[in-house]
Copies of this chain bind each other. A is one copy, B any other.
Amino acid sequence: MILSDSNLLQSDYIDGKYHKTRLITNLVIERIREIKDKMVKARKYVVKRHFQGVPKRDDFEIVEYELPPLKDGNFTVKSEWISVDPYIRAYNPNIPTPYDQFSFQLGKVVESKNPDFPVGCKVVSHKGWCDYTVFDDLVEVEIGFASVYKLPDLHGLPEELAVGALGMPGVTAYFGLLEICQPKAGETVVVTGAAGAVGSIVGQIAKIKGCRVIGFAGSDDKVEWLEKELGFDKAINYKTADVRKALKEAAPNGVDCYFDNVGGELTAVIYSQMNKFGRVSLCGCISSYNDDPSKMTKTTTLLPSILFNQLKIEGFIVSRWASPENRWPEAISQLAQWIKSGNIKTRSHVTEGFDKIYDAFIGMLAGENKGKAVVKV
């Protein structure tokens, strides 16, 4: 690019040979410095190897690199909010390493050669744990999420909700409950991982729909939050309660809908108390994510419960509502209305600092968060 610079070439013929070479050298050095200054130093988390059990700090490497100069159609985004979610752990075994750690994030366009994404524009993407990114493709990425969309109108709500209740976790709760469980007023809905980003929204949507809502969570503090602030009819600390007995008391007429984030033995107990034609939306099974994939945990068989009560179980990934038809805007718009009207309360569990993403992730996996775990960078 430098050698085709016409000003530089013109100067060749004005000055003598020695002078010309020196001039070229100086100019080249100057231009390289100029371009380097324009280049952004970026950082990203790279997963070096497949996790064994709980992911270790050392499984990740923070790689510093220079962003390439923008081509036409490209733009650079500076990350502002980065999400940590259970599926990040779940997908690890099936992706060849090393790979850049994906996740949802909200950022601002800081440089642009794309008129559709001008400087200052905010975008939600699946570019993951990085501080700057150049968007040089707008194609689908690994796990099926569209690679970028503009921050939707949040009606003045906090922007970090775009990766929480008004982003992937909210859309997951919305369609996963309403489309798969199809809860009816008066029915009993159970949700596990109830104090998490998805579960806390699921329970509140079920309340809006007129259901009796029972949540399972892992601490008394979460139980209190769910019952006192979010309006759950009953919350149960699965770590300390006799869950079979507690659920019988909380759901004397049985369970009609179950939104499962957790799996494991707790799920077997819940299935055993489901009513005829009950519906299960299987969103996650975080209790087994740290298992060795070649040696999965054995749990009490669910099949007799499914059979004799004629249950319907469906596993889902929220990308199914992004394509071929994109229904995310429908969910985000409805959720925003419910949040504005106070029918849904949100809570962000914020960790600050790009260097703390790993800690936020591990904390979330250990259940430290109430509401959405998110990192402000």
Contact = CB atoms under 8 A, between A and B. Distances in A.
A353 to B, nearest CB: 32
Nearest to A260: B303
Interface in A221-269: 260, 263-264, 267-268
B298 A298 contact: yes
B303 A263 contact: yes
A301 B285 contact: yes
Contacts of A317: 307-308, 310
A264 B298 CA distance: 11
Interface in A263-292: 263-264, 267-268, 282-285, 288
A10 interface: no
A315 interface: yes
A26 interface: no
A11 interface: no
Contacts of A306: 282, 313-315
Interface in A304-328: 304-317, 320
Q: Select the residue from A283, A285, A309, A320 with max chain B CB neighbours within 10 A.
A: A285
Among all A-B residue pairs, the 10 with the closest Cβ atoms: A306-B315, A307-B315, A298-B298, A285-B303, A313-B313, A263-B303, A312-B314, A299-B301, A296-B300, A310-B315
Interface of A: 90, 94, 260, 263-264, 267-268, 282-285, 288, 296-317, 320
